[in-house]
Structure 1
Amino acid sequence: MIDLLVAGGGPAGLATAIHGALAGLEAVVLEPRPTPIDKACGEGLMPGAVRRFEELGVTAPGRAFRGIRYVDGVTGLRAEGLFRAGPGRGCRRTDLQAALAERAAQLGVRVLARRVGEVRQDGRRVWAAGLTARYLVAADGLHSPVRRGLGLAVPAVPGRPARYGLRRHYAVPPWSDLVEVHWGPGAEAYVTPLGPDRIGVAVLTSEQAPFDVHLGRFPLLASRLPAPPPSGPGAGVRGAGPLRQRARSRVAGRVLFVGDAAGYVDALTGEGLTLAVAAAGELVRCVRAGRPQEYERAWRDLSRGYRALTSSLLWARRRPPLAARIVTLAARMPRVFTGAVNLLAD
């Protein structure tokens, strides 16, 4: 019988399968889409994520960055926080997934082109996609069909604007070895160095509009960007949202949730992949010990800092007078800002 049947072949699912294989478990991944899979993503790995992927035997390709820079999108005021425990890495989502898929294959993890469909379980096993396993791991993304099918999705809070993410690549040499977060009216723009001649620009906003409309709210940033190519790599815009997704639980019998499927606050602090790969390790530890119910507490402990800081920044973002002062406050309190950056970095 399969030990871990993993629904989803993105970074969270592959990291879970790799953790499982390294722990001596048989892991099978279900992913109907061909590898590599692209999606809207800031594509910046914090130092903690870089380290955890290396512990799995995966070296993320891309370009190193030394910290985070907040920039007022109109005035250009800056605040910088440098990492104390080594660099982060700007890495194309497709390159990261390809590296994870290669490592999983080296460890004997099978990837089957199947959808999960209906999930059934009893006290000893789970049935899905025509297969039987001891446990099913749902790593099927922000809008997890498994989470929804098991009735674990929590409705959105009425009256709270949904947030969305948009990403485009530009063929331009990075002008900084920091990830820049430009704060503008109602939106943030993230600039991540991805290689010697490529950057990624991701916009987070609660207003639905074309990418170039949002970019126009950051005149200093827009002035540094070339026109995107009419076709080919970097030409298209990827989108995702609503970003906030809540789950009633991370454990439902023998079904466990990891990555975005476990619940997501926002991309504002850039911790999604760090949490995903760390949680994948805790999930496998709990399963291997025969105590899957302990994973819920482990996930809450791992995600507490991310949830608290991200929720606090979102609270400030929803109050325009306060949001307009975020960069000013960060610049006036460099030690506090650097401390917050390093709290996220691990």
Structure 2
Amino acid sequence: MAGAGPAGAATAIRAALAGLSVVVVEPRTAPIDKACGEGIAHSAVDYLIRLGVDVPGRPFHGIRYLDDTHSVDARFTSGPGRGVRRTALQSALAARLAALDIPVIRSRVGPITQTTTSVTAAGLTARYLAAADGLHSPIRRQLGLNHPPTNHPPPNASSAGPASPNPFNSLGRLFQHAPHGAPGAVRRGLRRHFTVAPWTDLVEVYWSRLGEAYVTPVADDLVGVAVLTSARGTFDSHLDAFPALRRRLRTARPATAVLGAGPLRQRVRTRTAGRVLLVGDAAGYVDALTGEGIAVALRTSAELVDCLRADRPQDYDAAYRRVSWECRLLTASLLWSRNRRLLAPHIVPTAARLPTLYRTIVNRLS
């Protein structure tokens, strides 16, 4: 297993519980931090608990969209999500790895070699290598699995692996090949925490022409604020685009330094190369707009382990697409609208006019 972030640790834990022998290779020292929204859907919390992970944090009960004049709430029907400091989640996952006696080797993977029956990396030889080494995965790059950045139609569909049994491919291509320099084409995220009592039991998403600001309650005296945008600037300058949020934070004290991540959009040709399988952000990423990164990573990591147990790595890419297509479709659709100047200002007003539809979509994602 390459990587001990949430996707890598969860994959290792599930594999060990399934009776497989696992070693994790991770160069960073725990707990590993990352710029992210830190909201975990109820389904993902439930999955982690079933893996034996003691999930910390603060419950939240829905999602609120806001702009300058509109606000609309969608409360969860299946159960609360949880706002969790990334470092706290990492510590909980590390504790579970230790409880299962899963070795974590502090090293880089380095060059990878394969045969028809094994793969060798970081001085270790195993039947398979699951790669969860992040958004800008060195393993994905080393194996040539990145989709080449182009502004022309994609290569023959055969290069992208098995066809997906869903409509995501056509809509995904529509978004992926938007004109270079289109609004929101290259999106990044910045995150900072503030010491303040959460003012709501919802995750708030503030919308403006600059982008989105996510506010997640992660403790009784702490909120995380993540800004997603294609604009250049500092975290503080970006907050000026969200005056209502700026007023909320007027007396709050910054509790952490600003962390950044991006570009967010990462395309892959396929998620398998011989006996190497990509999972988590390394397996490709649409955007953080719907906040479903960890839920998708956990869902697809379960498919990865099932494919390895069956000794059928060739089935993984299709399985990944099957269990993630709905989230990828909804995220790409929303992002496509966000990137259109005529449509973007109407996203929150439309959700406010159609609250039942908005609640249905939010609960479908969660």
1:278 aligns with 2:278: no
- Give the match for residue 338 of structure 1: 359
RMSD of aligned residue pairs (Cα, Å): 1.1
Output the TM-score relative to the length of structure 1.
Answer: 0.95
- Give the match for residue 210 of structure 2: 186
More strand by share: 1
Whole-angstrom CA distance in 2 between matches of 1:295 and 1:257: 9
- Give the match for residue 118 of structure 2: 125
Residue correspondence of structure 1 range 1-346 to structure 2 within 5 A: 6-72=1-67, 74-75=68-69, 77-158=70-151, 159-160=180-181, 161-226=185-250, 229=253, 234-345=255-366
Equivalent pair of 2:196/2:253 in contact (CA under 8 Å)? no
Whole-angstrom CA distance in 2 between matches of 1:139 and 1:319: 33
Give the Å deviation of 1:306. 1.3
Whole-angstrom CA distance in 2 between matches of 1:256 and 1:227: 47
Q: Which runs of 5+ in 1 are unaligned?
A: 1-5
Give the Å deviation of 1:235. 3.2
Q: Which runs of 5+ in 2 are unaligned?
A: 152-179
Q: Which string of whole-angstrom CA distances, capped at 9 and with x for unpartnered residues, describes residues 131-182 of structure 1?
A: 1010001100000000000001113354152100000000000000000000
Would you say how many aligned residue pairs link Structure 1 and Structure 2?
335
Whole-angstrom CA distance in 1 between matches of 2:148 and 2:82: 34
Whole-angstrom CA distance in 1 between matches of 2:342 and 2:26: 45
Q: Tell me, what secondary structure is at the counterpart of 2:197?
A: coil
- Give the match for residue 154 of structure 2: none
Whole-angstrom CA distance in 2 between matches of 1:229 and 1:30: 37
Give the Å deviation of 1:229. 4.8
Q: Once the two structures are aligned, what percentage of the paired residues are identical? A: 58
The residue type equivalent to 1:117 in the other structure is: G
The residue type equivalent to 1:109 in the other structure is: I
Equivalent pair of 1:188/1:203 in contact (CA under 8 Å)? yes
The residue type equivalent to 2:95 in the other structure is: E
Q: Which string of whole-angstrom CA distances, capped at 9 and with x for unpartnered residues, describes residues 51-106 of structure 1?
A: 1111101131110001100001x22x111111111000000000001101111111
After TM superposition, where is structure 1 displaced by more than 4 Å over at least 4 residues in a row?
Answer: 227-230
Distance 1:66 1:258, change over 3 A: same
Whole-angstrom CA distance in 2 between matches of 1:324 and 1:192: 23
Whole-angstrom CA distance in 2 between matches of 1:318 and 1:22: 43
Give the Å deviation of 1:227. 6.0
Whole-angstrom CA distance in 1 between matches of 2:295 and 2:335: 20
Q: Which string of whole-angstrom CA distances, capped at 9 and with x for unpartnered residues, describes residues 253-286 of structure 1?
A: 1000000000000000000000111111110111
Q: Tell me, what secondary structure is at the counterpart of 2:327?
A: helix
Equivalent pair of 1:228/1:235 in contact (CA under 8 Å)? no
Give the Å deviation of 1:290. 1.0
Q: Tell me, what secondary structure is at the counterpart of 2:23?
A: strand
- Give the match for residue 169 of structure 2: none
Equivalent pair of 1:172/1:226 in contact (CA under 8 Å)? no
- Give the match for residue 3 of structure 1: none
Equivalent pair of 1:140/1:146 in contact (CA under 8 Å)? yes
Q: Tell me, what secondary structure is at the counterpart of 2:72?
A: strand
Whole-angstrom CA distance in 2 between matches of 1:229 and 1:66: 25
Equivalent pair of 2:35/2:261 in contact (CA under 8 Å)? yes
